[in-house]
Chain A
Amino acid sequence: MSTPYVLMGLLAGGPKHGYDLKRAHDARLPRAKPLAFGQVYATLGRLARDGLVTPAGQDQDAGPERTSYTLTDTGHAALTTWLATVEPPLPHLTSVLLAKVVVALLVTDISQARGYLVAQRAAHTTRLRELTALKTDPDATLSDVIAADYGIAHLDADLRWLQTTLARVADLHKEIAR
């Protein structure tokens, strides 16, 4: 789970209170699932308990009093270690898409399987078009573009994999028919 580290990364720039952290998180990761306020405060509580962040004072601009938090030296060290740790690239080749396509190619109801594959491809291309429109919008921020690029690259990979899979299975069928 990366939320604690994302919050620590946001605190690396200077003290912030929970409300600012939530807004900064949603701005930096605009296409991620928005962070609930409750999750921000619960995470800050755990980080404080573990000595990774510490309260840095109270703010009260027009609204209710808020506690600001700052990153501790231990927090800085934990963040550095996390950033230096390479993520295992695809350790398990599993996904719902993979499972569904494999099952679709096995099932006996051919029209249903074909219908699923065509509908799935259409859903992927529609989403790819939406993300392309999002990133080419003149008002798109760099964070929007980076997030859209991430989605587009993954959708494109799925589409190419779907196409290659169909071609491979078609080749296999031809081979068997000979």
Chain B
Amino acid sequence: MSILHARGVVRAFGHTPALRGVTLAIAEGEIVAVTGPSGCGKSTLLHCLAGILRPDAGEVIYRDHRIDTLSEGGRSRLRRTEFGVLFQFGQLVSELTAAENVALPLLLAGTGRRAARTAALSWLDRLGVADLADQRPGEMSGGQQQRCALARALVTEPRVLFCDEPTGALDSLTGEQVLSHLVRVARQQGTTVLLATHDARVAGYADREIALRDGQVDPSGFGVEAAIR
């Protein structure tokens, strides 16, 4: 049973095509790596599936409902309640502490301050960074920031988590620790994860891989123009 479905998704930036008819289906609870070289359309695909970008053509269906036709407000609500997003750089708010950053999505969704802080502290604890609750991002290492960002992405208990090169800015051991936390928590929660990466070692954490080449799904998996056709 697929939770997320794309049919013939097309998206361009000006005259430059980024996605040229992507069709895929993601089953509930799956961890799927979207792979391919820089510029192949991985980020654009994730942004279209997460409702951040609207496709120029095609359909994005989440739990049997088209989301590409929703208004900006409707897509924004969906992102607050159903989806979580983790980028390469955690994009934590630098003026806020880790606990305040993690509580932010809950506060925006109308949760009371005390309950939001309690949930934030619990998630920081699950990701092994409870001792950083009162520190600001500038006082943390890259790996610590990314674990806080992951806590923030998961605090609303999203059904789908979109991760765009989540360890791209980290050294390999730190990146591995972030990924291990991500996969462990996703399995425990039954969260569906889409993981955009150009790194085969990161894709190794997924159940399967969807490779892109020039904005299209590449069944060969190589993501480069196959030399022999």
Contacts and interface: CB of A to CB of B under 8 A. Distances in A.
Nearest to A130: B204
Interface residues of B, number: 22
B115 interface: no
B228 A125 contact: no
Interface of B: 37, 180, 183-184, 199-201, 203-206, 209, 220-229
Given A136-B205, A166-B222, 4 more contacts: A118-B222, A152-B201, A163-B37, A167-B227
A129 B204 contact: yes
A132 B204 contact: yes
A110 B227 CA distance: 10
Interface string A148-166: 0000100110011011011
A163 B226 contact: no
A117 B225 CA distance: 13
Contacts, number: 70
A66 interface: no
B197 to A, nearest CB: 12
23 contacts: A104-B228, A105-B228, A114-B226, A118-B221, A118-B222, A121-B220, A125-B200, A125-B203, A128-B201, A128-B203, A129-B204, A136-B180, A152-B204, A159-B200, A163-B37, A163-B224, A165-B227, A166-B225, A167-B224, A168-B227, A169-B227, A170-B225, A173-B227
